[in-house]
Amino acid sequence: MTAPSDTALVPFVSVDHMMRLVHHVGLRPMLRGLAEYIEADFKRWELFDKTPRVASHSAQGVIELMPTSDGEVYGFKYVNGHPRNTGEGLQTVTAFGLLADVSTGYPVLLSEMTILTALRTAATSAMVARALAPKTKAMAMIGNGAQSEFQALAMAELCGIEEVRLYDIDRAATAKAAANLSGQMRVTPCTSAEEAILGAGIITTCTADKQYATILTDNMVGAGVHINAIGGDCPGKTELHPALLDRAEVFVEYTPQTRIEGEIQQKPDDFQVTEMWEVLAGTRPGRTSDRQITLFDGVGFAIEDFSALRYVRDALPGTGLGQMLDMLADPDDPRDLFGMVMRAK
Ligand SMILES: NC(=O)c1ccc[n+]([C@@H]2O[C@H](COP(=O)([O-])OP(=O)(O)OC[C@H]3O[C@@H](n4cnc5c(N)ncnc54)[C@H](O)[C@@H]3O)[C@@H](O)[C@H]2O)c1
């Protein structure tokens, strides 16, 4: 039997290697680096093939495929969202993804993306907040699950946040997040969402519940804040009272997907929104006054995963991380796949 050629071997980043990559680069520099890659791709938004993600819904959750391409590189992510999983000791969100060379169609990277999704979601939140939020040193973090510490640290790294005010209906989740973040920033555990948002210039909602939830109502939120609403991300799963959307300037990733999955699913199809890439490219305004409420209705878009995979691909060389997978059949004569199988006996 002949050994597979180099083009037939695909680098694979396991969970273990992703964790080692995080420590090799450093968590905060990696969040900053991811934000740079995501922002660079948002600034060339029009180049990309875009489609709302392909979602398969069930009573328990959703399984989704998120593809995109910039014409040279193609990427997709497989991701699930199952809010009841944590009760069974499983994660709400797990993921893996792939990059491929458009010119040959050959995969060039396969990676775990559960950790990478938490990193890229945090990097996206902070990239958006850096462009829209008022000057502030304090944020509220409502929902203290798997995403929460990454969210807080990305806001610290990119937006200068020094205090995180934590709230979760499950006190054990708040205690976990407080312990994980202690020593990294000032941590204030709170016993209600109202208490958490006191004095916070950035309010992140990142809860998991498959219903039209009202984590924030209109009368709870004062003028001039930035809301980073990222937990509501599929049909029938939202976090904000619709009246709050009327008071805010709403920013989204890709409008056709957000109308299906985001907070704005509660609004008519002509509800006014601004796509974030336009703000970053300088063609649409971001925050226009101190008293304005800016609201990022973040659902997670394929380009963010594409950027994150690009970042990992570029960060890997020289680290000794990533194992080569014999993933692609590679007959010496490309048309003799059958012969290769028979000779393997
Ligand atoms: N927008 C994006 O790109 C993106 C990316 C990843 C995850 N998400 C979504 O973010 C959400 C959180 O993800 P996770 O991995 O942290 O989930 P998780 O299950 O680990 O944590 C969710 C937390 O929300 C808490 N919670 C539920 N209802 C609440 C309420 N009413 N008030 C306060 N806290 C409440 C739960 O107790 C839990 O601790 C999920 O809905 C997920 O689908 C969005």
Q: Which of 231, 263, 232 is nearest to 249 (CA)?
A: 263
Cα 203 to averaged position of ligand 1 atoms, centre (Å)? 14
Cα 271 to averaged position of ligand 1 atoms, centre (Å)? 25
Q: Which atom of ligand 1 is nearest to the CA of 148?
A: 16
Asked if 159 and 297 sit in the same domain, the reply is: yes
| pLDDT value for 5 | 72
Residue range 322-331: average pLDDT? 95
Query: In the predicted model, what is the mean pLDDT of the chain?
Result: 96
| pLDDT value for 4 | 66
The CB of 173 under 6 Å from ligand 1? The reply is yes
The CB of 107 under 6 Å from ligand 1? The reply is no
Q: Length of the chain in residues, anyone?
A: 345
Other C-beta atoms closer than 10 Å to the C-beta of 43 total 13
Cα 199 to averaged position of ligand 1 atoms, centre (Å)? 23
With 60 as the cut, is the pLDDT of residue 157 above it?
yes
- What distance in Å separates the CA atoms of residue 341 and residue 259, rounded to the nearest whole number? 48
Asked if 77 and 192 sit in the same domain, the reply is: no
Output the pTM of the full model.
0.96
Query: Does 345 fall in a domain?
Result: no
Look up residue 27 and give its DSSP letter. H
Asked if 160 and 11 sit in the same domain, the reply is: no
Q: Which atom of ligand 1 is nearest to the CA of 173?
A: 39
Expressed as residue numbers, the domain containing 330 is: 6-115+303-339
Give how many domains the chain has, as a whole number. Answer: 2
- What distance in Å separates the CA atoms of residue 248 and residue 293, rounded to the nearest whole number? 5
Assign 2 a pLDDT band (cuts: 50, 70, 90).
Answer: low
Asked if 192 and 50 sit in the same domain, the reply is: no
Asked if 201 and 326 sit in the same domain, the reply is: no
20-64 pLDDT, tens digit per residue, is 999 999 999 999 999 999 999 999 999 999 999 999 999 999 999
- Tell me how far apart the terminal alpha carbons of the chain are, to the nearest angstrom: 9
Asked if 210 and 280 sit in the same domain, the reply is: yes
- Provide the edge-to-edge strand list for the sheet that holds 138-142: 186-189, 163-167, 138-142, 202-205, 226-229, 293-297, 248-252, 274-275
Q: Which one from 233, 269, 297, 326 is the annotated catalytic residue?
A: 233
Residue range 116-129: average pLDDT? 98
Helix ranges restricted to H, 133-235: 148-159, 171-181, 193-197
Assign 230 a pLDDT band (cuts: 50, 70, 90).
Answer: very high
Answer yes or no: are the C-beta atoms of 240 and 142 closer than 8 Å.
no
With 80 as the cut, is the pLDDT of residue 210 above it?
no
The CB of 240 under 6 Å from ligand 1? The reply is no
Q: Which atom of ligand 1 is nearest to the CA of 81?
A: 43
Asked if 10 and 126 sit in the same domain, the reply is: no
Residue nearest to atom 41 of ligand 1 (CA): 208
- What distance in Å separates the CA atoms of residue 294 and residue 114, rounded to the nearest whole number? 28
Burial class (CB in 10 A: 0-12, 13-18, 19+), 157: buried
Cα 331 to averaged position of ligand 1 atoms, centre (Å)? 46
Q: Which atom of ligand 1 is nearest to the CA of 121?
A: 3
Residue range 12-24: average pLDDT? 98
233-269 pLDDT, tens digit per residue, is 989 999 999 999 999 999 999 999 999 999 999 999 9
With 80 as the cut, is the pLDDT of residue 193 above it?
yes
Residue range 287-305: average pLDDT? 98
CATH of the domain at 228: 3.40.50.720
Joined tokens for residue 176: 């976990």
Asked if 139 and 209 sit in the same domain, the reply is: yes
Query: Does 1 fall in a domain?
Result: no
Residue nearest to atom 28 of ligand 1 (CA): 207
With 60 as the cut, is the pLDDT of residue 271 above it?
yes
The CB of 92 under 6 Å from ligand 1? The reply is yes
With 80 as the cut, is the pLDDT of residue 303 above it?
yes
Answer yes or no: are the C-beta atoms of 73 and 101 closer than 8 Å.
yes
Asked if 195 and 234 sit in the same domain, the reply is: yes
Asked if 15 and 55 sit in the same domain, the reply is: yes
Joined tokens for residue 132: 């829209």
Strand-pairing partners, residue 185, are: 182
CATH of the domain at 328: 3.30.1780.10
The CB of 316 under 6 Å from ligand 1? The reply is no
Distances 191 to 72, 136, 175, 205 between C-alpha atoms, Å: 49, 22, 11, 15
Torsion over CA: 320, 323, 328, 331 (sign): positive
Cα 230 to averaged position of ligand 1 atoms, centre (Å)? 8
With 60 as the cut, is the pLDDT of residue 294 above it?
yes
User: Which of these ranges, 3-7, 252-256, 307-311, 337-341, has the smallest mean pLDDT?
Assistant: 3-7
Asked if 297 and 309 sit in the same domain, the reply is: no
159-169 pLDDT, tens digit per residue, is 999 999 999 99
What amino acid is encoded at 64 in this protein? E
Asked if 256 and 320 sit in the same domain, the reply is: no
Other C-beta atoms closer than 10 Å to the C-beta of 71 total 10
Residue with tokens 């924030």: 216
Q: Which of 205, 228, 227 is nearest to 215 (CA)?
A: 205
- What distance in Å separates the CA atoms of residue 138 and residue 159, rounded to the nearest whole number? 10
Whether residue 333 lies in the annotated active site: no
With 70 as the cut, is the pLDDT of residue 75 above it?
yes
